[in-house]
Structure 1
Amino acid sequence: MGIQDNAIGFGLGMVSGPLADMSLAGVPHQDAGAASGLFNTAMHLGIALGTALTAPVFFTTTDGSPDPGLNRAALIDVLWWVGGLLALLWALMFCLPRHANNRTD
C-alpha cells in the first residue's frame, strides 16, 4: 500500500463521517431509515461513478499498452488526481454550516 492509498483513505475518513452527520442531522426520526438508505445509496453511486470515470483516464494514459512501467506511472497519476479531488472536497467541507439544527420530534 503506497502513500497515495493512505492519503485517499485518510481523506475519505475525514469527509465521510462529518458529511453523514450533517446530512442526516435534520431528518425527522420517523424518516431516519429512509434517509440513511438514500445517503448510503448516494455514497455508493459516487464511488461507482468515480471508479467508472477514473478507468477511462487510466486507459487513455496507457493507450492499452502492456508495459508495466507505463501502467504504474498512469496509476500513480490517476491516484494523485483522485487525492487532489479529495483534498478539494475536504477544503470545501469547511464552507458548510458549522452546526445543523437538531429537531426533536
Structure 2
Amino acid sequence: MTDEKDLLDKIAALQREVDQLRHALVSHAVVDQAIGVLRAVHGLDGQESWDVLQRVSQNTNVKLREVAEDVLRWAASGRLPDAIGPALREAVTAVGPRFALAPGDGAATP
C-alpha cells in the first residue's frame, strides 16, 4: 500500500513539474519576442533588451513576463500601460539606445 502511495505522489510531483516547464516555455517565448521588439525599435542588442525588461520589471514591481506582454501589446497597438511607459523610456535611455523610430514611422516610441 505504501508503494502505491509513493508512486502516486511521484506521479503528482512529475505532473506539477511538467506544468511548470510548459509555463516556462510560454513565458520564454513571450520574453524573447519582447526582446526582439526592443531590438528592432530601439536598436538595442539582446543583452541590453533583456536588461531593459528586467529594469522595468523591478522598477514597476510587475512580473517580467507581464512587462514583456505589455511590450508586445505596445508593438501591436502603440499603447502602453501608464506605469510601464515612463519606466520603459527611462530604462531604454539608461542602456543607451542607438536609434528610435519617430512617431509616424510605423511604431510608437515609448
TM-score of the superposition, structure 1-length normalised? 0.42
Question: Relative contact order, CA 8 A, sep 6+: which one is greater?
Answer: 1
Based on CA coordinates, which of the two structures has the bigger radius of gyration? 2
Structure 2 length normalisation: TM-score? 0.41
